[in-house]
Structure 1
Amino acid sequence: MKKIIIVLLLITNIAVFAQTNEPSETPERLVKDFFEAFHAQDTVKLKSFSVEGVKLESVSIDAEGNTKLTSDDYSKFIKSIASIPSEATFEEKLHEFRVERNGLLATVTTPYSFYFNGNLSHCGVNSFQLVNFQGEWKIVYLIDTRTKKDCD
């Protein structure tokens, strides 16, 4: 009986230890949390995921077929999320996560399709550049592509 109790205690401790090491401090977890806050229009959380001065850019093709790079302020992005009317629905469906991690630096890319009021608006790929500050991952650069073509 004593051995059974010891084994149960060991299993319980392993389970508790595994829960405390939940991947909440991983690059993938940060990006998942970012999109949960994005869909909830939680601007306070969205701000908390990035460093001051985070760079935000988008790449697209203009009407003449030229590559266009647009830079924006992260605070402007946050305000635009907050200004989406409550009756509107939007969802950025992420198709996969590709994570490259090297010490304090990580890149997370997520192909996506964006829907507004149930209709496909555009698709592309997000690329998050993250840096680990004292055990906490933060977004330092975010770039995405946007297209209306080949959004399968």
Structure 2
Amino acid sequence: MKYVILLFVFCSTLIINAQKSETEAVKETIIEFFNAFHKQDTIVLKSMVKGDITMQSISINKEGKTVLQESSYNQFVKNIASIPKDRTFEEKLLDFSIRVDGNMANAWTPYEFWYQDKFSHCGVNSFQLMKEEDSWKIIYLVDTRRKKGCQKF
């Protein structure tokens, strides 16, 4: 009986550590994405996704109506590359909430966006990822954007 309990504890520890390491790998992927984003590194940005994914953004327009904007990832990469080098921008991630199930993961990352060292907007990113061989690839990205109600998460 003592050996059964020890075996159970050992196996449970292995499963928890495996889940934690996958969670950390997803987090590292998101951090790498934003490092490439800030450096305008289009080669790395293109390597981080599976195909030309659709990106969506949810915001409120001037009339107070919810608006869904869609763009292709390739257009997003072109837009990032076209930002003049003398312009500064930073998306500051405030937290990570990551869920992993096998080869699928979701990362929820509240953020603040700063342009030219001035606060622009806040919101949350929701990344969907899949594990392909030994790396996590982004397969979907949706965010929210707002100027009001921004707070530290």
Contact 2:22/2:100 (<8 A) preserved: no
Residue 137 of structure 1: aligned partner: 136
Distance in 1 of aligned mates of 2:77 and 2:37 = 9
**Runs of 4+ residues over 6 Å off in structure 1:** 22-25
Distance in 1 of aligned mates of 2:62 and 2:143 = 18
Distance in 1 of aligned mates of 2:52 and 2:88 = 29
Q: Which amino acid aligns with 1:137?
A: W
Residue 7 of structure 1: aligned partner: none
**Identical residues among aligned pairs (%):** 47
Shift of 1:56: 0.5
Judging changes above 3 Å, is the alpha-carbon distance between structure 1 residues 23 and 130 closer, same or farther for their aligned structure 2 residues? closer
CA displacement 1:81-111 (0-9 Å, x = unmatched): 1011111100000001110101111000110
Contact 1:23/1:29 (<8 A) preserved: no
Aligned length: 131
Q: Which amino acid aligns with 1:106?
A: A
Q: Which amino acid aligns with 1:66?
A: K
Shift of 1:53: 2.5
Contact 1:25/1:137 (<8 A) preserved: no
Contact 1:24/1:30 (<8 A) preserved: no
Distance in 1 of aligned mates of 2:80 and 2:102 = 32
Distance in 1 of aligned mates of 2:114 and 2:59 = 17
Residue 60 of structure 1: aligned partner: 59
Which has the larger Rg?
A: 1
Distance in 2 of aligned mates of 1:54 and 1:146 = 20
Q: How well do the aligned residues superpose, as a CA RMSD in angstroms?
A: 1.6
